[in-house]
Amino acid sequence: MEDMTRRALMGGAAMAGLAAAACQSGPKTVTARPNADFYGPDKKFNAEAAKQAYYDMMAAYQYPIPKFLRDNIWSLDFALGRFTEVGMAGIFWINEKEADYFGHEIYLLPGQMIPEHWHVKTADARPKMEGWHLRHGSVTLFGEGDPTTGAEATIPASERTFAKCRHATPLAVGELGKLNRPEAPHFMVAGPQGCIVTEYASYHDGKALRFTNPDVKL
């Protein structure tokens, strides 16, 4: 994701704070929980327990939780069984096919990763273009470009074999990043206090999603 933000990364010096993240906002009371907390005795993912963890994070950041959010938020572990490493919650505020625009909020718990993916053209949508606006916490964006020294350490070990992008851009609260081109692979990893990210994009067609990890399912 070359030119993904107004901030330029300059090798290892810029990565010194990547793992700890560049900036946090709000009370630092978001704590990581064990993976087992989000699975039942049958090993089935407990989406409601996951949502509650996100609500707790939102409360720590004094982020509003209106009825519309509670009624429409979704959470998933991408069928990998490693929710605290690879998982997310989100809400589609708006997704207009005819007008070709999309508003999305992304919620990630501490250290959580959205697996590497890209968006292809479909009969209903052009290749999706995206921009990300960090509201709370800290996040590192990964995309195309020269490898960033130390970036791999930020990626959960379980996904390093699958995720190919190593160009990393940490965002501070209020900063924005964007996809460098249509169909470019990308992913993000939350910092130690989790993150809340607003996504601005063209129309989102779920059928357009492609993942590097072949085991990922929605």
Flag whether 13 is in a domain.
no
Q: Looking at the domain assignment, is residue 11 inside a domain?
A: no
CATH of the domain at 88: 2.60.120.10
In a domain, 2, yes or no: no
Residues near 169 by Cβ (< 8 Å), separated by ≥ 6? 1, 4, 5, 7, 9, 140, 141, 142, 143, 177
Residue 218 lies in a domain: no
Residues contacting 203, CB < 8 A, separation 6+: 95, 96, 97, 99, 100, 101, 102, 124, 125, 126, 128
What is the value of pTM for the model shown? 0.88
21 in a structural domain: no
Q: Which of 23-32, 40-49, 172-181 has the lowest mean pLDDT?
A: 23-32
User: How many CB atoms sit inside 10 A of residue 109's CB?
Assistant: 27
Task: Tell me the two tokens of residue 54.
Answer: 């996100």
In a domain, 206, yes or no: yes
Longest dimension (CA), the chain: 47
**Domain-located, residue 153:** yes
Paired with 94 in beta bridges are: 103
- Enumerate the β-bridge partners of residue 39: 45
pLDDT tens-digit series, residues 100-147 = 999 999 999 999 999 999 999 999 999 999 999 999 999 999 999 999
Calculate mean pLDDT across residues 176-186: 97
Q: How many folded domains does the chain comprise?
A: 1
Report if residue 108 sits inside a domain: yes
CA distance 67 to 64: 10
pLDDT band at 218 (very low <50, low <70, confident <90, very high): very high
Average pLDDT, the chain: 90
Which 3 state secondary structure label does DSSP give 193? Answer: strand
Q: What is the b/e burial string over 169-200, where b = at least 16 CB atoms within 10 angstroms of the residue's CB?
A: bbbebebbbbbbeeebbbbbbbbbbbbbbebe
> Which residues constitute the domain of residue 90?
44-211
